[in-house]
Amino acid sequence: MISVFDLTRAAFAARLSEWGEPPFRTEQIWNWLYVRLADSPAAMKNLPKPLREKLAAEFSFNSLTPIVDLRSNDGGTHKILFRLPDGRQIESVLMRYDKRRTACISTQAGCAMGCVFCATGQMGFDRHLTAGEIVEQVLWFERALAPHPSPKRRGAGGEGLTNVVLMGMGEPFHNYEATMEAIGRLSDPQGFNFGERRFTVSTVGLVPMIERFAAEHRQINLAVSLHAATDDLRTELLPVNKRYPLSVLMLACHKYVETTRRRLSFEWALIQNVNDTPKQAHALAKLIAPLRPLTHVNVIPLNPTQDYAGATSTRERAAAFKLSLEEAGIPCTIRVRRGIDIAAGCGQLRNRPALESPRLS
């Protein structure tokens, strides 16, 4: 059965008109779905009963079944393992810190890119998520945070999500259309109204899609996972580097910044004695210095995963790496590790909850 969240507003309006419904019904139902966050037609009190029944018979309203619900000991991270209608599983994470409430959303079940230090890469690729499955993850957290939102309350002053990052399981640019369709649906001012600037897409570096994204001139933030500044090391860590080596990737990054004049962030999972060396720091600074002042490096201390033996850099080495970039005029942030006790950190998401005792919500 098709999910109602897989439909654009126009496609949904067309279905309702085929059923002989007046145009205002589209607006009413869209408001229930994306403003009042209804998760079933039964909640749509101002619709006639036969229409509610027809909606329930024709569309599914809930593709995500939470099967494990874990909260970190510090309370700041909340991870959900969802079952999809075909039995596949994905994980999504909510992080609360400072005044931000950020949802980290999956775009695929598994991932085909095979980055050696990533648990999702280690499990391989199952399938792309549909736009509706991406949308529903965001709505799920919004419902959990703010059960009765109004569009005005969403954002800084309210209780709902403040940011969405497409940094969960999967490579968003390998599932480009569904990812962009989901963001389009969620940012629609007549619906969920979550502005593009509050989304960040992270890519392993699929060059043709970076070019496409640049040409679309969107307001969505872009991050590129670099992790190594020489081809030999990057190919060892990220097999995709064979296909799109650094020279090609950096050219696309330059073009992106030139055409959009938007900031481009680089992600760097810091691994002791592997990519935290002065040689890598200098090579990185040289590679991205031409993008100043529109660039920034996000260092993620490596999170442990089952099949990768590398270790997180010590604080001292991380500080030295950061200093070396800052001396070259490149801002660098070392991310605080969060949610490691529930394997909800970057790169730790996978389809089976290893050694966890399920706690159902």
241 binding ligand SAH? (CB under 6 A): no
Closest-approach residue to ligand SF4 (CB): 121
Q: Whose Cβ is closer to ligand SF4: residue 120's or residue 187's?
A: 120
By C-beta, is 114 or 191 nearer to ligand SF4? 114
Asked if residue 293 has a cis previous peptide bond (ω within 30° of 0), the answer is yes
Q: Quick one: three-class SS letters along the chain? A: CCEHHHCCHHHHHHHHHHCCCCCHHHHHHHHHHHCCCCCCHHHCCCCCHHHHHHHHHHCECCCCEEEEEEECCCCCEEEEEEECCCCCEEEEEEEEECCEEEEECCCEEECCCCCCCCHHHHHCEEEECCHHHHHHHHHHHHHHHCCCCCCCCCCCCCCCCCEEEECCCCCHHHHHHHHHHHHHHHHCCCCCCCCHHHEEEEECCCHHHHHHHHHHCCCCEEEEECCCCCHHHHHHHCCHHHHCCHHHHHHHHHHHHHHHCCCEEEEEEEECCCCCCHHHHHHHHHHHHHHCCCEEEEEEECCCECCECCCECCHHHHHHHHHHHHHCCCCEEECCCCCHHHCCCCCCCCCCCCCCCCCCC
Please, what is the minimum distance in Å from the beta carbon of residue 330 to ligand SF4?
22
Site membership for ligand SAH, residue 13 (CB under 6 A)? no
In the list ligand SF4, ligand SAH, none, the entry touching 302 (Cβ below 5 to 8 angstroms by class) is ligand SAH
Q: Rounded to an integer, what distance in angstroms lies between the CA atom of residue 121 and that of residue 273? A: 22
By CB under 6 A, is residue 204 in contact with ligand SAH? Answer: yes
Single out the segment in contact with ligand SAH by CB under 6 A; choices: 74-82, 86-94, 149-157, 297-305.
297-305
Looking at residues 182 to 221 of the shown chain, list those that interact with ligand SF4 (rule: CB under 6 A).
204
Residue 163 contacts residue 103 (beta carbons within 8 Å) = yes
Within 109-128, the residues that bind ligand SF4 by CB under 6 A are 111, 113-115, 118, 120-121
**Options 41, 151, 170, 345; binder of ligand SF4; rule CB under 6 A:** 170
Instruction: Select from 23-31, 183-191, 298-306, 313-321 the region that touches ligand SAH (CB under 6 A).
Output: 298-306
183's tokens: 């963001």
Q: Which of residues 94-153 bind ligand SAH (CB under 6 A)?
A: 115, 117-118
Instruction: Select the binding partner of residue 252 from ligand SF4, ligand SAH, none (C-beta < 5 to 8 A, by kind).
Output: none
**In the range 242-281, which residues lie near ligand SF4 by CB under 6 A?**
none
* β partners of residue 103: 94, 164
Which CB, 47 or 169, lies closer to ligand SAH? 169
Instruction: Clarify whether 91 is annotated catalytic.
Output: yes
Name the residue among 323, 350, 332, 360 with its Cα closest to residue 93: 350
**Contacted by 269, from ligand SAH, ligand SF4, none: CB < 5 to 8 Å by type:** ligand SAH
How many residues touch ligand SF4 under the rule CB under 6 A: the total is 12
Instruction: Kindly write out the interface string for residues 138-157 of this chain, putting x where it contacts ligand SF4 by CB under 6 A and - elsewhere.
Output: --------------------
Q: Which of 77, 225, 295, 324 binds ligand SAH (CB under 6 A)?
A: 225
Would you say 38 or 115 has its CB closer to ligand SAH?
Answer: 115
Q: Determine whether 253 is an active site residue.
A: no
What span, in angstroms and rounded, lies between the C-alpha atoms of 159 and 147?
Answer: 9
Q: Active-site residue among 91, 133, 171, 267?
A: 91
Q: Minimum Å distance from CB 196 to ligand SAH?
A: 18
Q: Is 347 in the site for ligand SAH (CB under 6 A)?
A: yes
Active site residues: 91, 346
Interaction site with ligand SAH (CB under 6 A): 115, 117-118, 167, 171, 202-204, 225, 267, 269, 300, 302-303, 305, 346-347
Interaction site with ligand SF4 (CB under 6 A): 111, 113-115, 118, 120-121, 170-171, 204, 225, 347
